[in-house]
Amino acid sequence: MESGKILPGVRIIIANPETKGPLGDSHLGEIWVHSAHNASGYFTIYGDESLQSDHFNSRLSFGDTQTIWARTGYLGFLRRTELTDANGERHDALYVVGALDEAMELRGMRYHPIDIETSVIRAHKSVTECAVFTWTNLLVVVVELDGSEQEALDLVPLVTNVVLEEHYLIVGVVVVVDIGVIPINSRGEKQRMHLRDGFLADQLDPIYVAYNM
């Protein structure tokens, strides 16, 4: 589904996050925004001014090199459509796939956590939430269980099978935890890297852990 109409006065471009070159219609890349209300920076005590400059004052490497863009850090694509709004005007559709820094490289291919997580959540009615990340080239799947501890054992083959069938990936570790363990920020986004840190520090207090190494 598209993520909404692009407002008047707002320009969106999809750029290659490494080369900073513009990408064509329906190509996946980083979402860059140019508008009159773009921020110029943010207050920080960590001295990362160089990161701010790249984030808020980026320019394309070729094409329109004069326009200043703000990098969102999110992957997505634009698609030229025949869709019309309430006024009967056509508009381009923007699709947001996920955060750039949370994309996973496995077996030479890029995977987006939300795709795998959606498959796992659909696998069993007792799975209330799911988050995935990588650890030493292994795919780690953390699932929140709304049910008895006995069901935790039954979840493991379901999780591994659905990920293999729908994404052709082998799950390295399945971690079954209580509801509320997966951290969520104030914007409703999963904090997968915080979850990974908790996993590595053995702080998740899991109901059950299965290793398939």
Is 30 in the same domain as 66? yes
Is 83 in the same domain as 163? no
Residue 172 predicted with pLDDT over 80? yes
User: What pLDDT score was predicted for residue 99?
Assistant: 83
CA 131/CA 34 separation, integer angstroms:
32
Look at the chain and report how many structural domains it folds into.
2
Is 113 in the same domain as 202? yes
Percent of the chain's residues with pLDDT above 90:
48
Is 122 in the same domain as 92? no
Report the CATH number at residue 24.
2.30.38.10
Contacts with 193 (C-beta within 8 Å, 6 or more apart), sequence order: 102, 133
Question: Which amino acid is it at 157?
Answer: P
- Compare 117 and 90 and report the one with higher pLDDT: 117
Count of beta carbons in the 10 Å neighbourhood of residue 172? 19
- Compare 55 and 200 and report the one with higher pLDDT: 200
Please report the beta strands in 166-213, taking only residues with DSSP state E, as ranges in sequence order.
171-177, 208-211
Per-residue pLDDT reduced to its tens digit, 138-166: 999 999 999 888 888 889 999 999 999 99
Q: The pTM is what? A: 0.72
Per-residue pLDDT reduced to its tens digit, 34-73: 998 888 777 666 555 555 667 888 889 998 889 999 999 8
List the end-to-end C-alpha distance of the chain, in Å, as a whole number.
36
* Beta-strand relationship, 208-211 and 109-111: unpaired
Is 62 in the same domain as 110? no
- What is the domain range of residue 98? 4-102
